Amino acid sequence: MRHLFFGLAFVAGPLAAQTVSPPKEAAASITSADVAHHIGVIADDSMLGRDTPSRGLELTAAYVADQFRRYGLRPGGDSGSYLQRYRIVQRKLDVAGSRVTLRAGRTAAVARFDRTARFLQGTVSGVPLAGVAVLLGGRLTADAVGRLPLRGRIVVYAADADALPSREALQVGRAIRLAAPRAVVLVSNLPPERFASRIPRSTPARTAPDFRLESAPFVEVSQAAVAPVLRAAAIDLEAVRADTAPVFRELPGLRVTVELRDSVFHASSAPNTIGILDGSDPELRRQYLVYSAHMDHIGISPGRPDSVNNGADDDASGTTGVIELARAFSRPGARPKRSIIFLTVSGEEKGLWGSRYFTEHPPVPIGRIVADLNMDMIGRNWRDTIVAIGRKQSNLGETLERVNRAHPELRMTAVDDRWPEERFYFRSDHYNFARKGVPILFFFNGVHPDYHQPTDSPDKIDSEKEARILRLLYYLGREVGDAPVRPQWKPESYREIVDDSGSGE
């Protein structure tokens, strides 16, 4: 692909080398050899895919902390260290103490988790979630779901066992979760015996961080088990499934109670790594810019010839970005007026755990964090473009454009989100900053056939390309770090993302 600003290129002559400014030197110090080296370490087989929690993840966090120490960053973690830890617990559903009850007038039916109900995902609060239901079904799209008033509602979803699990269904599921309902009850038309056979004999353990994630529980119930109530409420789910348009309607006659209990049987913890570089201005240094990336990946896939998911692009590339930027900014004269927090988180693949914990327990007041520049998968695909998601949501987009235009020598163009239907804005760590009111940009080169496969290995990384992206990110950080005014949200985006995210709950 051609880059757009060729015509504006100026050529730096050989004389320029004698008068290079510290920022230019700092940017130039980011090399493809350094990038390849760090990715080689972090995505090595010995890291065993950096699952959360795991020994490989701990080794990665220690490696990042070691780099931060070398560059003289100030520790931003727990008790004077670079590591910030959050507790992770393994829980098992209390099958006897959990149930889903549907009630229409005098008719009631109870689905239980040993035969007629199945837990799918979400938070188990121990508190009964009850309310009048809304019905969802027909031919749904993520966009259609995004426009529905599902917040705080109990959603009854006419799931169709005959429909194959598809990318579209996944997107719809994600859109339902993002709409923040209170609970989601999928009603399955699988024959009762087949439904029961899908319930595992011994309750599987669920690993989750020990803090509130506020994600609605999704449970599935067998339609046969609740059929009398559906009849009493005059709900014909077969007709809903057959509908070729989205179906959404209130069900004033149907009251649903989801009761879920579980118990903890094992506890551990996982690390974030935090290093702080103080800004050069006595006033502005009290504000902070964050560079973030996730150092965890998905662990191993047993039974495959090469079982280690190396996660070289996802996201050893971003983790390396944080390390390299920390090194570049800590050179003499290279830091901006504002301070910088260099952050590598864990648990991203599990559900943005580490960034959630960080934004709930930041080392500085969250209101003093002026921007998050997040990197997730920046080492593959197109040689001369990088997608920057979030450009339209704040004036960071315009700043990026200006910086990009000023550095044609990088042969790197930041372009708009190419896959809005995938809702990537909500799918990496920057989202936890955005929902807290921090403007973000998310740098991402898109997925590829090696995504979440053992073949996402260091040899496939284009480290030369990544080095140019990181130089651009260095210049962007200088600009944001030195600007007299901090980045500003676009008002309608603020309303949509911050006001609507439930962060004020």
Q: 495: buried, middle or exposed (CB in 10 Å: 19+, 13-18, 0-12)?
A: exposed
Q: Which range in 11-19, 91-99, 309-317, 325-333 contacts Zn ion by CB under 5 A? A: 309-317
Choose between 133 and 352: whose C-beta lies nearer to Zn ion: 352
Does residue 314 touch Zn ion according to CB under 5 A? yes
Choose between 318 and 487: whose C-beta lies nearer to Zn ion: 318
Query: Closest by alpha carbon to 414, among 431, 397, 426, 428?
Result: 397
Nearest-approach distance from CB 431 to Zn ion, in angstroms: 14
Q: Which residues have CB under 8 Å from 420's CB, separation 6+?
A: none
Choose between 44 and 51: whose C-beta lies nearer to Zn ion: 51
Q: How many CB atoms lie within 10 A of CB 284?
A: 19
CA distances from 37 to 31, 32, 142, 320 (A): 10, 8, 40, 9
Choose between 339 and 445: whose C-beta lies nearer to Zn ion: 445
What type of residue sits at position 386?
I
Residue 357 to residue 334: CA distance in whole angstroms:
30
Residue 58 to residue 63: CA distance in whole angstroms:
9
Choose between 349 and 417: whose C-beta lies nearer to Zn ion: 349
Choose between 182 and 452: whose C-beta lies nearer to Zn ion: 452
Choose between 160 and 349: whose C-beta lies nearer to Zn ion: 349
Q: What would the x/- binding string for Zn ion be over residues 266 to 305, using CB under 5 A?
A: ----------------------------------------
Of all residues in this chain, which one has the CB nearest to Zn ion in the complex? 314
Residue 421 to residue 170: CA distance in whole angstroms:
12
Nearest-approach distance from CB 49 to Zn ion, in angstroms: 11
Residue 298 to residue 301: CA distance in whole angstroms:
8
Residue 96 to residue 93: CA distance in whole angstroms:
9
Nearest-approach distance from CB 92 to Zn ion, in angstroms: 26
Choose between 310 and 330: whose C-beta lies nearer to Zn ion: 310
Nearest-approach distance from CB 86 to Zn ion, in angstroms: 19
Query: Closest by alpha carbon to 362, among 341, 348, 378, 392?
Result: 341
Q: What would the x/- binding string for Zn ion be over residues 355 to 384, using CB under 5 A?
A: ------------------------------
Nearest-approach distance from CB 482 to Zn ion, in angstroms: 33
Nearest-approach distance from CB 275 to Zn ion, in angstroms: 23
Q: Which range in 34-42, 251-259, 308-316, 418-426 contacts Zn ion by CB under 5 A? A: 308-316
Choose between 220 and 349: whose C-beta lies nearer to Zn ion: 349
Q: How many CB atoms lie within 10 A of CB 468?
A: 23
Choose between 338 and 350: whose C-beta lies nearer to Zn ion: 350
Nearest-approach distance from CB 432 to Zn ion, in angstroms: 16
**Rounded (10°) CA dihedral 412, 418, 422, 423:** 70
Q: Which range in 127-135, 146-154, 311-319, 470-478 contacts Zn ion by CB under 5 A? A: 311-319
Residue 421 to residue 195: CA distance in whole angstroms:
32
Nearest-approach distance from CB 419 to Zn ion, in angstroms: 15
Q: Which range in 158-166, 222-230, 312-320, 437-445 contacts Zn ion by CB under 5 A? A: 312-320
Per-residue 3-state assignment (H helix, E strand, C coil) for 15-47: HHHHHCCHHHHHHHCCCHHHHHHHHHHHCCHHH
Does residue 429 touch Zn ion according to CB under 5 A? no
Residue 400 to residue 384: CA distance in whole angstroms:
16
Does residue 51 touch Zn ion according to CB under 5 A? no
Residue 473 to residue 373: CA distance in whole angstroms:
8
Nearest-approach distance from CB 314 to Zn ion, in angstroms: 4
Residue 288 to residue 371: CA distance in whole angstroms:
8
Give the chain's count of helices (H) and strands (E).
Answer: 15, 18
Q: Which range in 81-89, 113-121, 191-199, 313-321 contacts Zn ion by CB under 5 A? A: 313-321
Contact residues for Zn ion, defined by CB under 5 A: 314
